[in-house]
């Protein structure tokens, strides 16, 4: 795999990166050093997602970054996106997805290392663990202990992403466990200077 799964991983948000500003905000994060961008759009129709994903893929290519589409499996295949990220609802279809999609596949494993090991065997390219702190974007997600990152690093050979409620006050605690990637939503998009905030996080690696 030539694309690098390391460093700051930013995720778009329907409220914090609305359609009229998503491209500009993502580009600012890339200028600050973000290496991975995920389009997470739960509300738009397929055509809107196709338009956004195509443009974001182009912007990511310009910066040598990885573009990942969340959940929309058929669209990721159709658009030949760099990557696809799936959650709980698609865990059961993983083999089929892996057969149809040739790019990077990431899987949310929440707080479950045995699940992560299973997906590594089946061909996942990275796994994500979290939330580690209460998350403004996903208030209902359970909080998992940070040492799961250390345990996962010992037991897995694929890159590991930390997600959920991470901000500038707790990033040091997270980095003590050496994740390969850290995912940010609120703390990046709410910043008055996205580029320098992205730079701050990228400097942690």
| Set 138, 151, 153, 195: catalytic member | 138
Beta bridge partners, 163, equal 130
Residue 114 a catalytic site member: no
| Set 29, 108, 131, 191: catalytic member | 108
| Set 31, 40, 153, 195: catalytic member | 40
* Beta strands 126-130; 104-110: pairing state: parallel
Distance CA 108, CA 90 (A): 10
Q: How many CB atoms lie within 10 A of CB 121?
A: 8
CA neighbor of 114 nearest in space, from 156, 144, 83: 156
Residue 190 a catalytic site member: no
SS3 assignment, position 171: helix
What is the token pair recorded at 86?
């799936």
Q: Contact, 62 vs 53, CB < 8 A?
A: no
Residue 131 a catalytic site member: no
The catalytic residues are 40, 108, 138
């Amino acid at each position: 795999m030539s694309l690098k799964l390391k460093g700051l991983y930013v995720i778009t948000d329907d409220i914090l990166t609305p359609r009229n500003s998503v491209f500009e905000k993502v580009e600012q994060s890339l200028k600050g050093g973000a290496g991975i961008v995920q389009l997470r759009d739960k509300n738009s129709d397929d055509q809107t997602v196709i338009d956004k994903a195509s443009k974001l893929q182009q912007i990511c290519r310009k910066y040598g970054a990885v573009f990942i589409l969340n959940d929309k499996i058929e669209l990721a295949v159709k658009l030949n996106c760099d990557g696809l990220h799936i959650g709980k609802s698609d865990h059961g279809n993983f083999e089929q997805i892996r057969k149809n999609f040739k790019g990077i596949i990431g899987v949310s494993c929440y707080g479950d290392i045995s699940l992560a090991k299973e997906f590594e065997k089946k061909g996942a390219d990275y796994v994500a663990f979290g939330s580690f702190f209460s998350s403004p974007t996903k208030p209902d997600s359970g909080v998992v202990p940070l040492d799961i990152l250390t345990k996962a690093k010992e037991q897995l050979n694929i890159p590991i992403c930390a997600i959920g409620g991470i901000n500038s006050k707790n990033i040091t605690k997270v980095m003590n466990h050496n994740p390969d990637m850290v995912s940010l939503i609120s703390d990046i998009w709410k910043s008055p200077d996205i580029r320098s905030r992205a730079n701050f996080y990228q400097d942690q690696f």
